Structure 1
Amino acid sequence: MSTVDALLIIFAMTLITYATRAGGIFLVGFVPMSARVEAFLRYLAGSVLVAIVVPATVRGGAAAYVAVAVAVVGTLVLRKALPAIALGILAAALWRTYMG
């Protein structure tokens, strides 16, 4: 695969991701916002994250378990998901570097 092909694939994936997100925001504008719908939308991102993280953790071995543990503790301490996820990634990288 050439560099141009790789860049075209990345560009296409970017467009599809943007269209999916923008389309979802557009479609939600037509849904009556009840308390139930609002709660669903509030917790949707977390449930998607868990659906991605759990299978990767089960297959990932010790480094993945360390990463998840650090991310959970980081979330509890920092009260912010993004820095906690970054700490989890760093912990996994350090684990793989120094522990094999």
Structure 2
Amino acid sequence: MTVDFATLLAILAMAAATILTRVSGLLLIRHVSLGGNARKAIESIPPAVLMAVVAPTAFATGIAETIACAVTAFAALRLPMLVSVALGVASVAILRAVGI
């Protein structure tokens, strides 16, 4: 297998851009004080992004995936993001295993 230099350079540039945007966000948020409404708005972004990713799956696939998407949505209301995603993955695996 050969590696094209332009492709490798593009991958490295995208990785650097991703890392820089994440690190800069962490560094900048240290210098910003958020009030009650702004904090609630910022904290609601991860569940909103999760639903934007999950919703097309709920409407375009079978019943097992739709139920798992509902489980993920309800879990995201109270649980941390990683736990919500893990519950969704586990529920779709179980539902597929039992034949739903």
Equivalent position amino acid for 1:44 in 2: I
- Aligned-partner Cα distance in 2 for 1:67–1:12: 36
**How far is the alpha carbon of 1:16 from its aligned partner?**
4.4
Q: CA distance change for structure 1 residues 81 and 34 in 2, over 3 Å: closer, same or farther?
A: closer
Q: CA distance change for structure 1 residues 44 and 28 in 2, over 3 Å: closer, same or farther?
A: same
Within 5 Å, give how 1:1-100 maps onto structure 2: 2=1, 15-72=16-73, 75=75, 79-99=79-99
1:54-97 Cα offsets, whole Å, 9 max, x none, are 11211222121121234356x39x84553343232122123334
Between the two proteins, what is the percent identity of the paired residues?
31
- Aligned-partner Cα distance in 2 for 1:10–1:61: 35
Equivalent residues, number: 95
Structure with higher helix content: 1
**How far is the alpha carbon of 1:38 from its aligned partner?**
1.1
**How far is the alpha carbon of 1:21 from its aligned partner?**
2.1
Quick check: which has more Rg, 1 or 2?
2
The SS at the match of 1:54 is helix
- Aligned-partner Cα distance in 1 for 2:58–2:40: 27
The SS at the match of 2:34 is coil
Structure 2 runs not aligned, ≥5 long: none
TM-score, structure 1 as length reference? 0.60
- Aligned-partner Cα distance in 2 for 1:40–1:51: 16
